[in-house]
Structure 1
């Protein structure tokens, strides 16, 4: 075949070949847009949520799901990522005076005013208990601004392998391109539960919040925190475009179950309680349909680690000649052959010279 025809054939083949689809995070079954149900147990209760995940927080096993990687507007459930990202970055005893921009955020607010100085600890309570969009903006500004906070939040999402999540606001107010999934919300909640301060904020039922002259009481918006046995909390959200969303965790008998739902058009609290009940009954009995994956390793630590040098033990004998020769390159073999050949020729010439001298005598 002429070279031009061969190149054309290669180009055609590589141009039309399609790459194999990547395995969804958490397992192949979680790529389904429908129900993903385990064997050996009855199906979970019905819910009007477009997407949901039920998972065992202790083992990471996903027990059941529906459209787990479907991307939807997260509304205020994104505040769980805001808190998880900023809690390690901001000193909780630091005092902040919020800007007029922060105090004038639209939507749900905890009631910040520019004339009051707030501790970061209070702002996190306002964020996770009262779902304050003003608290979200004040915390973002304290972290160096909204742009930096968005970079930090999206980097944290990637570290958690929450790849369906794109944060555009610290509050969850709808923005084009902002998204998350029921699977990602469960990942974020599981990571948050490991942080003592995160866990304290989401489980606090009521707290006194600073005001210009005194304090006033704020209450947690998570209704199940007041009526579901073992409820730890996490976050709920709603906007007219996102509809209802929720991610929560509860502990019973030393075991913790996470439930996340997205795009629910009605009252979802009773349905979430039923899904949690099912999770506790199914854990340890249901064959898992997937896994909540672990975060990626810290790349900074990997780069900082010293290189590993393989040391050959002193008692190990040197490699045999044929083994060493097999590792030589063609150039080293050629040089070796020249040296050996040259040495042999020199020896023969010297031997001939000696014989001639003896014969003359």
Structure 2
């Protein structure tokens, strides 16, 4: 695979050819009104349908609820309130006044979609449900997840509680990067401590039982939202995440399997840029430095796809006045392919470079400028002195005749 490097207004284009050019594969027919399929590691979008349109999410909301419970309250004890116990819809059958370990409550919530568990988690982690919902929205905004606005921790219908397929894919990418979350959503059977007898929970995500390589994550349903699912599967080192919104009861599970199958069958992992590949020169402190890639670029390509990476160098400006050694991290490069951001790679220097020294010419110009300013100030000072003396003569001419006016 040959690489050609050309400069384009501070960015660079790498032309690569993997196969003979051909058309993209035809995606499967889906019942879902909103859908997306992405690479979990890079966020690369393989398929999209109304990916920014807002839909009711139902219980896939609990992906964010579980993530915040893991990252902000994993060691806390959940005390169940009357309000939590009385939440409508699906339930873990938690009892008011009881206390449970957070890990057990989160696991139960993700397996049987208990709204009581979601409410109790929100009260425990956020101090109140409104504050927890604020945490949910702030996290979505920090991750730049579009079309997301949460109004409760469970996904119960609310006109202001909406998500987009793209937004949920981004949220799930972050959540699945957490090993505790990943373990929970892959769990098929779990139990909650006795109250008075232990409860056994079975995961409602059918993909875990029927789809080879499935690793989670959450399903949902309300009358307003219809069927929803966020699914994930892993094969041959590739992890795919799918989001289906406003699907039909008959179409949900076939859609979920068909979309994942389409992704695994038509896309394969390639490395348009490999670790050690020379990428060009980067200007750091007025010093051009030859750089290479510090890692492989992962990209899912279909057979015959023409790949044209666009590179945008982001140098480390803290090194502007410092010496640079060979094989030193000097910045990063942001990469887009065919108009889509696909991640970044570290930039590694290929040579040593002394600290930046200002040239003799530059120093002489600085001296000339300083002298010119000093001379100008001196001339202005002399001019002002003469002007004041002349003004004094015009105002008081008698001093020329002495003090006697007779």
Taking structure 2 as the reference length, what is the TM-score of the superposition? 0.65
Q: 1:139/1:293 Cα in 2 relative to 1: closer, same or farther (>3 Å)?
A: farther
Whether contact under 8 Å (1:248, 1:260) holds in the other structure is yes
Alpha-carbon distance, 1:185 to partner: 1.3
CA contact (8 A) 2:52 2:146 kept: no
Counterpart check, 1:203 vs 2:186? yes
**2: CA distance between counterparts of 1:269 and 1:101?**
34
State the Cα deviation string for residues 69-117 of structure 1 (Å, max 9, x = none): 1111111111111122231100x34222200100110001111002432
Q: Name the SS for the 1:87 alignment partner.
A: helix
* Unaligned segments of structure 2, at least 5 residues: 1-21, 269-300, 306-336, 344-354, 386-406
Cα distance, 1:40 vs. partner?
Answer: 2.7
Question: Shift of the alpha carbon at 1:42?
Answer: 2.7
**Greater helix proportion:** 1
Contact 1:61–1:289, Cα closer than 8 Å, also in 2 = no
- Structure 1 distance, partners of 2:384, 2:192, is 98
Match of 2:199 among 186, 205, 216: 216
Conserved 8 A contact 1:63-1:282: no
Q: 1:81 aligns with which of 44, 50, 64?
A: 64
Instruction: Classify the secondary structure of the residue corresponding to 2:112.
Output: coil
How far the C-alpha of 1:147 sits from its partner, in A, is 1.2
Give the distance between the partners of 2:91 and 2:370, measured in 1 at CA.
71
Alignment partner of 1:138 is 2:138: no
4+ residue runs over 3 A deviation: 287-294, 312-328, 340-346
Distance 2:99 2:383 in 1: 92
Q: Which runs of 5+ in 1 are unaligned?
A: 1-38, 295-311, 347-361
Residue number in structure 2 paired with 1:357: none
Select the structure that is richer in strand. 2
Instruction: Report the 3-state secondary structure (helix = DSSP H, G, I; strand = E; otherwise coil) of the residue aligned with 1:88.
Output: helix
Name the SS of the counterpart of 2:256 in structure 1: helix
Q: Deviations over 1:264-312 (max 9, x none)?
A: 1223112210110001112233358775777xxxxxxxxxxxxxxxxx8
Structure 2: distance between partners of 1:269 and 1:157: 27
Alignment counterpart, residue 92 of structure 2, candidates 103, 110, 114:
110
Q: Is 1:122 aligned to 2:165, yes or no?
A: no
8 Å CA contact retained: 2:79, 2:124: no
Give the TM-score, by structure 1 length.
0.73
The within-5 A match list for 1:279-358 is 279-284=263-268, 285-286=301-302, 291=340, 317=360, 319-323=362-366, 333=373, 336-339=375-378
CA distance in 2, matches of 1:126, 1:327: 74
**Offset of residue 55 of structure 1:** 1.2
Give the structure 2 partner of residue 64 of structure 1: 47
Cα distance change of structure 1 residues 256 and 199 upon mapping to structure 2, 3 Å threshold: same
Residue 150 in 1 paired to residue 133 in 2? yes
SS at match of 2:71: coil
1:299-329 Cα distance to aligned partner (Å, 9 max, x none)? xxxxxxxxxxxxx86786584343455599x
Deviations 1:232-280 (A, max 9, x none): 0011111001111111110011111111110112231122101100011
Residue pair 1:245, 1:262 contacting (<8 A) in 2 also: yes
Alignment correspondent of 2:82: 100
Partner of 2:346: none
CA distance in 2, matches of 1:147, 1:293: 35
Q: Taking structure 1 as reference, are residues 174 and 344 closer, same or farther at Cα in structure 2, changes over 3 Å only?
A: closer
Distance 2:342 2:52 in 1: 13
2:46 paired with 1:46: no
Residue in 1 that maps onto 2:224 = 241
RMSD of Structure 2 on Structure 1 (CA) = 2.9
Q: Residues 272, 291 of structure 1: CA spacing in aligned structure 2 closer, same or farther, 3 A cutoff? A: farther
> What is the match of residue 157 of structure 2?
174
Task: Report if aligned partners of 1:164, 1:181 keep a CA contact under 8 Å in 2.
Answer: yes
Aligned residue pairs total: 288
CA contact (8 A) 2:42 2:342 kept: no
Aligned counterparts of 2:24 and 2:357: Cα–Cα separation in 1:
60
Given the superposition, is the C-alpha separation of residues 290 and 106 from structure 1 closer, same or farther in structure 2, using an over 3 Å criterion?
Answer: farther
